[in-house]
Amino acid sequence: MPLILALDQGTTSSRSLLFDEKGSLLGMAQKEFKQYYPQPGWVEHDAHEIWESQFATLAEVLAKARVDTHNIAAIGITNQRETTVVWNKITGEPIGPAIVWQDRRTASFCDELRLQGKALLLQQKTGLILDAYFSATKLKWILDKVPGAREQAAAGQLAFGTIDSWLIYKLTKGAVHATDVSNASRTLLFNIHTLQWDPELLELFDIPLSVLPMVLPSSGIVGDCTIIPGARIPIAGVAGDQQAALFGQLCTEEGMVKNTYGTGCFMLMNTGQQAIASQRQLLTTVAWQIDGKTTYALEGSVFIGGAVVQWLRDELKVIHSAPDIEKLAASVKSTDGVYVVPAFTGLGAPHWSAHARGAVFGITRGTNHAHIARAALESIAYQSADLLHAMQADAQIQIRELRVDGGATANDMLMQFQADTLNCKVVRPIITETTAMGAAFLAGLGAGIWKDQQELAAHWKTARVFEPQLPEDARAQLVKGWQRAVKAAIAWADDR
């Protein structure tokens, strides 16, 4: 039976998962690696540690599942996006630490570009917002600041890659320097319409073309993994984590949406063959390219999702563990008009207020910790609903269901409330490892284990559907209260 190995390289840990041809999960191994914070606002990884942790989990999952490596028909890769590595092509050694997506060191350079009026050009070409988050300014920083980097680059000796490229390079023992379209579309250097590195943007960021990887489809043979003794396994699927999750949820038709409820929430809508320019500061991104067909997505995120539950646990100390929130929240019938706006680090789309801070509204003499816990939990759903409404408005698409994954989807109360606030079905699949599943699906398609996307449908199964149950007027009243709370939180921040 052919097996697929999915490598899921995340921000805090590397994981390897083994799937069979029915899409069943046979085994998993996970290893954390170190985060470096050398200065305020800086976040770095050691590319060696990323590779070593990834390889260790790969070896562990194969050993635990006792599989013959000859049965592994394909490898899929999914990864933390935007994180930037530069290595020397001759020695294979990184020339410095990897700069992680969260790193803010290039924020002031982004401000300069904004003052020069470059934001619109960048949005039109890349679908992204001009921000330090994306790879281009990180790559420029490395080339400018690492001694000798510009000279080595000019001599054609350097390679840039996001983490997928770095893993591909290591897995193929340096034979392949490539990335896929979904990862390329997070660099601020890639034109999502022409699907090529954009010469004007390379000039803007002063990036030589010679350092950039070849851009390949998300599904199809990239090269052979030759690092596992005695085996030669095709790497046949690659996508950034959120795009992989969209595929893993089989949101393969236009208008399908997934939301991941982790520390933050990440929502993506498949917009088919159209790259829709957002009027509401959502990102436009390549979802994947398969068989020559490019699919686009709109993307938005909630900064504080499950993190608000961690706040209740670690700071307010009203629960011992995250799952406890369900019981505490259920101990009251409603929030009694209390709203928590968890704008701890500002508010993202569609509100965009960097200065907003958290607030609790509607407190009365009878308000207790359970009301606040319930309101905090509900805030995850309200923020996600705001995001979805922005997406629907940008895309002019009304969705029929929301597919969900991530740690906080274990919370039935939250999922029901999400269905109620959206007035649409919320669907939770059996396998919630959707990111790895997406990488496995892309690789299995790329290696010919599955014939086409229709065949995958049999391998994605619903665990539970949450149907909206709230009458329209009750829903409208709740949502109105939330909107007032957000407005008030922003007004408080603006009146400085």
Query: Can residue 215 be called a binding residue for ligand ADP (CB under 6 A)?
Result: no
The only residue of 286, 325, 422, 490 in contact with ligand ADP, by rule CB under 6 A:
325
Distance CA 293, CA 110 (A): 33
Asked if 493 touches ligand ADP (CB under 6 A), the answer is no
Give the closest residue to 403 by CA, choosing from 210, 296, 247, 256. 256
Tell me: does residue 262 bind ligand ADP (CB under 6 A). yes
Residue 127: exposure state from Cβ atoms within 10 A (0-12, 13-18, ≥19): buried
Interacting residue with ligand ADP among 306, 342, 444, 446 (CB under 6 A):
306
In the bound state with ligand ADP, the residue whose beta carbon lies nearer, of 212 and 370, is 370
Q: Smallest gap, in angstroms, from Cβ of residue 323 to ligand ADP?
A: 4
- 410 counts as binding ligand ADP under rule CB under 6 A: yes
Nearer to ligand ADP, 233 or 338 (CB): 338
Shortest reach from residue 380's CB to ligand ADP, in Å: 8
Which of 358, 362, 407, 468 contacts ligand ADP by CB under 6 A?
A: 407
- What is the residue-wise DSSP string for 342-365? --BTBB-TTT-BTT---EEE---T
Report how far apart the first and last C-alpha atoms of the chain are (Å, whole number).
Answer: 64
The answer to whether residue 174 forms part of the interface with ligand ADP (CB under 6 A) is no
Write the binding mask 428 to 467 for ligand ADP: x where contact by CB under 6 A, - elsewhere.
----------------------------------------
Site membership for ligand ADP, residue 408 (CB under 6 A)? yes
Pairing of strands 359-361, 401-405: unpaired
- Stretch (H or E) spanning 384: helix 369-395
Query: How many CB atoms within 10 Å of residue 277?
Result: 12
* Burial class, 12, CB count within 10 angstroms (exposed 0-12 / middle 13-18 / buried 19+): exposed
Which of 263, 278, 284, 421 is the binder for ligand ADP (CB under 6 A)? 263
Interface pick for ligand ADP out of 310, 345, 367, 416 (rule CB under 6 A): 310
Burial tier of 346 (Cβ tally within 10 Å: 0-12, 13-18, 19+):
middle
Q: Which stretch binds ligand ADP (CB under 6 A): 71-79, 158-166, 218-226, 400-408?
A: 400-408
Give the 3-state secondary structure of residue 267: strand
Q: Do residues 134 and 102 lie in contact, with contact meaning Cβ atoms separated by under 8 Å?
A: no
Residues within the interface to ligand ADP (CB under 6 A)? 262-263, 306-307, 309-310, 322-323, 325-326, 406-408, 410-411, 414
